[in-house]
Amino acid sequence: AQIRQVLANPPPKGGLKVVLRMPPEDWVVPPDSFFQNNFHLLPGLIETIRSRVKDAGSRYLVDAYCGVGLFGIELAGTVEKFVGVEVDRQAIKAAVRNAEKRNCTNGEFIEGRAEELLPQLMGRFDASQTTVVIDPPRAGCTEAVIRKILKLSPETLVYVSCEPSTLARDLRILCESQYAVWKIQPVDLFPQSSHIESVTLLKKKS
């Protein structure tokens, strides 16, 4: 019905942006906040990330681009404690509500920029027992985020990417310093297109 309405009354050229999205079942997602859009393959993506955290044996999790709390909440049972950081204020409010709906009590969500808050958040945990999940926008991580990660030196990184070119750029910087790629798993969240999601596991070099 919404599609027919937009087709009948298109916005003027160069005018308003029209966003049509189906709300994910049982998740609070503000209209302009990010959420993975392939609900059919989303459980597989989450399980891939969960298995990487389990393999690492991490006790703590830091979600550097947490959005509405998807990964932190879904992985809460895998770790003792977690924390998510997100610059989108509405997404953080939604993350708190999503956690409450699922009785998820071993984590918290903090509004702010990852490059500014990572030192504070990582300071709560033993870096040798911490995994940082990175799921940045298509443009990849900012240089400031990469620098902070290298300085804080968590044992394990799980990099979730929807853009191979920026993933390759960021992996080069991380691997030139102190990390090595152990596994890369593609997940075809965007079938019949050139786009691909991937989950990369990085561990500190021995």
Instruction: List CB contacts of 189: < 8 A, sequence separation 6 or more.
Output: 36, 37, 38, 41, 42, 45, 162, 195, 196, 197
CB atoms within 10 A of CB 175: 13
Residue 179 in 3-state DSSP?
A: strand
Least Cα distance to 174 among 146, 143, 206, 137 occurs for 146
What's the full length of the chain, in residues?
A: 206
Instruction: List CB contacts of 13: < 8 A, sequence separation 6 or more.
Output: none
Q: What residues act catalytically?
A: 162
Instruction: List CB contacts of 5: < 8 A, sequence separation 6 or more.
Output: none
Number of separate helices (H) and strands (E) present in the chain: 7, 7
Phi (first) and psi of residue 201, to 5 degrees? -100, 125
